[in-house]
Amino acid sequence: MENKEWLFDKSQQELEKFCVLNGFKKYNAHQVMRWVYFYQIFDFAKMTDISKSLRGGLINNFHANLPEILDTTYEEDITGYSKKYLIRLADDKTIESVLINYNSRKTLCVSSQIGCKMGCTFCETAELGGGRNLSSGEILSQILLINMDTKEKITNVVFMGMGEPLDNIIEVEKSLNIMSDNNFLAIAPRKITVSTCGLLDKLKDIEKFKYKIAISLNASDDITRSGLMPVNKKFPLKDIVNLINHKKPSIHNKITLEYVLIKGINDNILNAKELIKMFSPSKVKFNLIPLNKEKNSIFLKNFERPDDNAINDFKVKLLKAGFTVTTRFSKAQSINGGCGQLTAKTICFR
Ligand code: SF4
């Protein structure tokens, strides 16, 4: 197996090249990928509509072994359940994914890196530092593994697990192409959210980006934001405002501004007023995330969750200004799978 390539790391174009170079038809690549991603059959011998010689060629050159689920943690209430997966990759590194299965929507929060070098001060993943990028196959196999584990199809994907997806844009785009293709994983682009801490240089082609975008904002002024998110020193708030305000408005695809509410840091009603001045309800919606804090967290010892009245006042202020506002009381919190709590011991705070 050492010399065999991992099939899940291949794009359709790469597999087409293999087929053509080895005397097979270009469309055979599409057939193989349909078996793998649509039917989720990973045994080449069972791919009955392709020739015996191609099956042999695949067996000799590729393997389609999925990573291993090492551990799971489960939490449920009357509306659904969350399940966190600890997954071991081929190099023995571990990542986490969280399935959030509520109200018949099966959302998988996927990781895109091992650790993260963005250094957000409220995020437990940042504690791990920069590790390495995940390959497209390592991203896609999180979906495949959890589809198999639950025997149900993932309906929505959010890149809010470990890592900053735009810091690994090549592999993330490669995985997006396969997961959104109707012939393969068939998850509609409008059901896929790419969440970024604000790497704006990777969003230059924002008008062409067909997936949902969430930007982790978390402050209404540069001093506070730079204190929470070092990325703000390179891409300050005015750049985020410019990018968003120059984007064509889209009712169906507004940018989500994620805002982690932290007591005494960014939860003042004046912060809400500043946000109202900066952004337009026609371009963005807000997702307020009251801080998730693991019990006894030493890492987050300087941060507190605001009380319910402060959360509600902040929300009402934005609502009255015409914004769509959701408040995410993070599912999976008690299993340390809420935003900002994936550290492979155990997700990105977005
Ligand atoms: S919040 Fe996201 S971008 Fe920031 S350190 Fe955590 S994983 Fe990285």
Structure tokens at 24: 């097979």
In angstroms, the CA 348 to CA 115 distance is 10
Cβ(116) – ligand 1 distance below 6 Å: yes
Would you say the C-alpha torsion 267, 271, 272, 273 has a positive or negative sign? positive
Cβ(125) – ligand 1 distance below 6 Å: yes
pLDDT given at position 338: 47
Q: Pick the closest to residue 275 from 323, 207, 206 (CA basis).
A: 323
Query: Is residue 87 within 8 Å of 94, Cβ to Cβ?
Result: yes
pLDDT given at position 250: 76
Question: Quick check: is 348 catalytic?
Answer: no
DSSP annotation of 139 reads H
pLDDT tens sequence across 183-238: 999 999 999 999 999 999 999 888 889 999 999 999 999 999 999 999 999 999 99
pLDDT surpassing 50 at residue 110: yes
Q: b/e per residue, 79-95, with b = 16+ CB within 10 A?
A: ebebbbbbbebeeebbb
- Find the Cα–Cα–Cα–Cα dihedral 219, 305, 158, 83, rounded to 10°: 170
Q: Residue 345: what are its φ and ψ, rounded to 5°?
A: -85, -25
From the CA of 119, give the closest atom in ligand 1: 5
When pLDDT is averaged across residues 106-113 and rounded to a whole number, the result is 96
Cβ(194) – ligand 1 distance below 6 Å: no
Question: Quick check: is 123 catalytic?
Answer: no
Could you say which of 16, 96, 164, 258 is catalytic? 96
User: In what helix (H) or strand (E) does residue 94 lie, and over which residues does it extend?
Assistant: strand 94-102
In angstroms, the CA 235 to CA 192 distance is 24
Ligand 1 center–CA 318 separation, angstroms = 25
From the CA of 126, give the closest atom in ligand 1: 5
Hey, which residues does 284 pair with through a beta bridge? Answer: 255
Cβ(348) – ligand 1 distance below 6 Å: yes
Ligand 1 center–CA 124 separation, angstroms = 8
In angstroms, the CA 239 to CA 333 distance is 32
Ligand 1 center–CA 291 separation, angstroms = 14
Read out DSSP for 153-187? ---EEEE-SSS-GGGGHHHHHHHHHHHT-TTTT--
DSSP annotation of 291 reads P
From the CA of 197, give the closest atom in ligand 1: 3
pLDDT tens sequence across 272-329: 999 999 999 999 999 999 987 766 677 677 889 999 999 999 999 999 999 999 997 6
Q: Pick the closest to residue 317 from 259, 236, 242 (CA basis).
A: 259
- Mutation pick for ligand 1 pocket among 123, 202, 339 (CB with most ligand atoms within 8 Å): 123
Task: Show the domains of the chain with their CATH numbers.
Answer: 5-63 (1.10.150.530), 68-335 (3.20.20.70)
Ligand 1 center–CA 121 separation, angstroms = 9
pLDDT surpassing 90 at residue 1: no
- In degrees, rounded to 5, the angle at the alpha carbon of residue 88 between the alpha carbons of residues 168 and 136 is 30
DSSP annotation of 317 reads H
Burial group, residue 239, by CB count within 10 angstroms (0-12, 13-18, 19+):
middle
Structure tokens at 28: 């055979």
pLDDT surpassing 70 at residue 335: no
pLDDT given at position 331: 56
From the CA of 164, give the closest atom in ligand 1: 3
Q: Pick the closest to residue 315 from 276, 288, 292 (CA basis).
A: 288
Ligand 1 center–CA 115 separation, angstroms = 9
Cβ(262) – ligand 1 distance below 6 Å: no
pLDDT tens sequence across 16-47: 999 999 999 999 999 999 999 999 999 999 99
In angstroms, the CA 31 to CA 18 distance is 13
In angstroms, the CA 141 to CA 122 distance is 28
In angstroms, the CA 194 to CA 211 distance is 7
Label residue 336 by pLDDT band (50, 70, 90): low
Reported pTM:
0.93
Cβ(349) – ligand 1 distance below 6 Å: yes
Query: Is residue 128 within 8 Å of 340, Cβ to Cβ?
Result: no
